[in-house]
Amino acid sequence: MPKRLTGTREWAQHSVNCYLGCPHDCRYCYAREAAVRRKLTTWEDWKTPRANMRAVHRRYGLMPGRVMFPTTHDITPTMLPECMTVLQKLLEAGNEVLVTSKPHLGCIKWICRDLAGCGYRPLLEFRFTITSGSDQQLEYWEPGAPRLAERYAALAHAKAAGWRTSVSIEPCLDLRDVHNLIELVEPHVTGTIWIGLLNRPKQRVRVTCEKDREELDYVLSGQTRERVTAVYARLADNPKLRWKDSVRRLLGLPPATEPE
């Protein structure tokens, strides 16, 4: 019986990271909650990332299957040099790499330009996280990350530069308006668009004031079974759409069995 794939395993067989922490400081971050629980950092220190120089200097060989880089942090201007070192090593070894991030336009331009003549286009795909079409939501949930216009521009740039592109709408911060976000990004997506829900909010999201409660309640009220079923019915015929394990479990859909 095929193994049910969840989380990053729906996208890749291997995960590589070179930082502990992320300045995007996303309120729902699964990696921060896990690192704090393991006493590797604190909730407050997470947004001041520390480079893992062992990962940066490591010699990477060819791995069977796809490699997702990074998975527990994004690629930001201050982190770009170390990220580029690791990315180039992975590609030089012949690995198929899925580059995942909430994209900074300058970083994506640099990566596209730096790798343009290296023959890596068949090996590299960008998967950019765009969780909402509302800058108000992005500012609250992902306070250190780029706003919508910059992420959209990065996606458009990567596609125009000839790279494979895909989008992650996980967690989807507003299922009520996700069709408009899909319509916006789809012309610049060569691959797939993934929709997923906000997972484990009690463990991952701090609620310290009424504003926190209101924002969380808004997201959760949009991902009831009734609403998710309606969204799925409306969008299911779109061949580019894929549904993360959180949606599959809620709707009783068959699990993913191969990374995509």
CA dihedral 191, 104, 216, 179 (to 10 degrees): -40
83-111 tens-digit pLDDT: 999 999 999 999 999 999 999 999 999 99
The distance of Cα 220 from the centroid of its chain, to the nearest Å, equals 20
> Domain 7-251, what architecture?
Alpha-Beta Horseshoe (3.80)
pLDDT confidence band for 3 (50 / 70 / 90): low
Each domain of the chain, given as residue ranges in start order, spans 7-251
204-220 tens-digit pLDDT: 999 999 999 999 999 99
Tell me the residue ranges of DSSP E strands in the chain: 14-15, 19-20, 50-51, 66-69, 96-101, 124-129, 164-169, 193-195, 241-243
9-66 tens-digit pLDDT: 899 999 999 999 999 999 999 999 999 999 999 999 999 999 999 999 999 999 999 9
**Is the pLDDT confidence value at 259 over 90?**
no
Q: Which of 141-150, 226-235, 248-257 has the lowest mean pLDDT?
A: 248-257
**Is the pLDDT confidence value at 1 over 60?**
no
For position 2, what pLDDT does the model report? Answer: 56
